[in-house]
Chains A and B, each alone.
Chain A
Amino acid sequence: MFVTPLFLIASAVGAAIPLMLHLMQKKNSARSPFPTLRFLEQAVQQSSRRVKMEHLLLWLLRTLIMLFLGLAFAMPMLRTHNFAWLGNTPRDVGIIIDASYSMDYNLGRETVWDKALGVAKTVIEGLGENDRFCIYVASEQPVPVIAEPTSDREDGLARLKGLKRGHASSSLAPTLMAVNDVLKSETRRREREIYVLTDGQALPWTGFRTSDGEPEQDGTAQQGAWDPSSVGEKTILFVALLGATAPENVAPADIVLNPPILLKGTDPNITARLIGTGNAMETVVSMHRDGEEISRRTARVGVGADSNPSFSIPSLPVGTHAVSIQTPDDNLPIDNEFHFLVRVRDELPTLCVGTKEDTFFARAALSATAGGAPGSESKSRWVTADALASESLHAYASVFLCNALPMSGQASTALEQHVRSGGLVALFPGPAAAPSDYQAWQCLPGVPTGMEDVRQSRRKRMLTWEQPRHPMLHALQDSLAPPVVTMRRHLAWDTLAPETETLVTLGDGTPFLLDRPYGQGHVLMFAVPADRSWSDFPLSPFYLPMIRQTIEYGAGIGAFAPYLWSCATLPLSANLPEATSASRITDPDGQAVPIRSAIIEGRTVLHAENLALPGVYSLTQPGQTPAPGFAINLDRRESDLTPLPPADLPELLRIKKLQIATDSESLLKLIKELRVGRTFGEHLLWLVLILALGEFIYANLLLKDRPKLGDMLQIKASGKVGGHTPHVGGNSTKGGTT
Chain B
Amino acid sequence: MKVAKAEKRKLPGKPSEPRKEGIAGFLNPAEMHKLGRLSLLSRYVVEGSMAGAHRSPMKGASSEFADHKAYGIGDDPKHIDWRVLARTDKYYIKRYEDETNLRVYLSLDRSNSMNYGSGDVTKYDFACHLAAALGYITVKNRDSIGLFLHADKVDMKMDARNSFVHLNNMLKHVQEQPPSSETGLAETLHQIAGSVRRRALIVIISDFLGDEEAIAVALAHLRKQRHDVIVFHVLDPMEIDLSMKHACEFEDLETGKRLTVNPRAMLSDYQKIFGAFLERIQKTCAGLKIDYRVARSDQNLETFVRAYLEERRRLSK
Measuring CB to CB, which residues of chain A are less than 8 angstroms from any residue of chain B?
25-26, 29-44, 46-47, 51, 54-55, 702-703, 706, 708-710, 712-713, 715-721, 725-728, 731-738
Contact = CB atoms under 8 A, between A and B. Distances in A.
Contact of A719 (B254, B261, B295): B295
Contacts of A44: 259, 261, 266
Contacts of B5: 32-33
Interface stretch (B24-32, B45-53, B154-162, B274-282): B274-282
28 contacts: A29-B1, A30-B3, A31-B2, A32-B248, A33-B250, A33-B251, A33-B253, A35-B113, A35-B116, A35-B239, A35-B252, A37-B252, A43-B261, A46-B273, A47-B269, A709-B274, A709-B275, A718-B304, A719-B304, A721-B292, A725-B276, A727-B272, A732-B212, A732-B280, A734-B211, A735-B211, A735-B213, A738-B183
Contacts of B236: 35
A70 B247 CA distance: 30
A718 B249 contact: no
A36 to B, nearest CB: 5
Nearest to B260: A29
B239 to A, nearest CB: 5
A726 B274 CA distance: 9
B246 A29 contact: yes
Nearest to B212: A733
Contact of B266 (A25, A43, A725, A727): A43
Given A43-B269, A731-B276, A738-B210, A719 B232 contact: yes
B255 A738 contact: yes
A32 B251 contact: yes
> Which of A30, A38, A737: most chain B Cβ within 10 A?
A737
A30 B261 CA distance: 11
B112 to A, nearest CB: 8
B248 A717 contact: no
Interface residues of B, number: 75
Contacts of A703: 264
B293 interface: yes
A31 B274 contact: no
Given A32-B249, A47-B266, A706-B268, A39 B274 contact: yes
B240 A29 contact: no
A33 B117 CA distance: 9
> Which of B5, B244, B270, B280: most chain A Cβ within 10 A?
B270
B262 to A, nearest CB: 7
A718 B272 CA distance: 24
A42 B255 CA distance: 16
B237 A710 contact: yes
B67 interface: no
Interface string B265-303: 111111111111111101000000000111110010001
Given A36-B209, A728-B272, A737-B211, A721 B248 contact: no
A29 to B, nearest CB: 5
A46 B269 CA distance: 7
Given A36-B239, A41-B259, A728 B4 contact: no
> Which of B1, B273, B304, B308: most chain A Cβ within 10 A?
B273
B4 A721 contact: no
B243 A31 contact: no
B253 A726 contact: no
Nearest to B245: A703
B151 to A, nearest CB: 11
A419 B182 CA distance: 133
A41 to B, nearest CB: 6
B271 A726 contact: yes
Contact of A721 (B265, B271, B282): B282
B14 interface: no
A25 B245 CA distance: 13
Contacts of B264: 702-703
Contact of A725 (B253, B279, B308): B279
Contacts of B311: 718, 720
A35 B275 contact: no
Q: Main SS of the interface on chain B?
A: mixed
A43 to B, nearest CB: 4
A46 B293 CA distance: 29
Contacts of A42: 269, 273
A34 B273 contact: no
A32 B273 contact: no
Given A33-B6, A34-B253, A719-B293, A39 B304 contact: no
Given A36-B274, A706-B267, A721-B282, A30 B251 contact: no
A43 B270 contact: yes
B310 to A, nearest CB: 8
Contacts of A35: 113-114, 116, 123, 207, 209, 236, 239, 252-254
Given A33-B116, A34-B251, A35-B207, A728 B273 contact: yes
B64 interface: no
> Which of A25, A36, A38, A41: most chain B Cβ within 10 A?
A36
B307 interface: yes
B78 interface: no
Contacts of A709: 240-242, 271, 274-275
Contacts of B304: 717-719
Contacts of B4: 30-33
Interface in B105-122: 111, 113-114, 116
Given A31-B1, A732-B280, A37 B248 contact: no
A718 B295 CA distance: 8
A117 B84 CA distance: 139
Nearest to B247: A29
B255 A37 contact: yes
A51 B250 contact: no
A25 B247 contact: yes
A721 B113 contact: no
Contacts of A713: 240, 275, 278, 294
A223 B182 CA distance: 103
A715 B210 contact: no
Given A708-B241, A719-B232, A736-B211, A40 B250 contact: yes
Contacts of A721: 278, 282, 292, 294
Given A40-B259, A702-B264, A738 B254 contact: yes
A726 B5 CA distance: 29
B257 interface: yes
Nearest to A709: B271
A661 to B, nearest CB: 54
B258 interface: yes
B248 A708 contact: no
